[in-house]
Amino acid sequence: MQERLSSTIEDFQKQLDLIVKYDWDFDHYLEEDVPAAMEYIRAQTKPKDGKLLAVGHSMGGILLYAKLARCGFEGREPELKAVVTLASSLDYTSSNSTLKLLLPLADPAQALNVPVVPLGAMLAAAYPLSSRPPYILARLNNLISAEDMMHPEL
């Protein structure tokens, strides 16, 4: 158990180090990555009208919404013929998921001047508490949204 905890703490520290090292945020994706990806695809496919068909899943779809909104606001052509988004919600207020309880963590990230709160590392650290006796956090298992989409051992 102690070896597993040490490994988890080590992984947590690595993720924290990456947060400090890389200063990516949503705007970087929108302003740098999306145009670079579009240019690459345009160069490879050479569409006759120069416009692309875009499909975005989750954050990819949210980035497409943001691109369309920004282009509309600035009066620029988005260079997209059509956009399809999948699982790209912009309004989470109607969700019954208890994951909404994590939303207040956005403020500490801003207050601490860090781009993200390392939820993955925090959840990985908590996993042993919910998966092994005495199952301290096991009572939370039924609160997971989309429980049927997870591997049974998780």
Residue-range domain boundaries for the chain: 1-22+115-154, 24-95
CB 81 within 8 A of CB 48: no
pTM above 0.75, yes or no: no
Does residue 141 carry a pLDDT above 70? no
pLDDT by residue (tens digit) across 9-48?
A: 777 777 777 766 666 778 889 999 999 999 999 999 999 9
Q: Where are the beta strands (DSSP E) in the chain?
A: 52-57, 80-86
Q: Measuring CA to CA, how many Å separate 150 from each of 29, 100, 136?
A: 28, 19, 20
Does residue 100 carry a pLDDT above 80? no
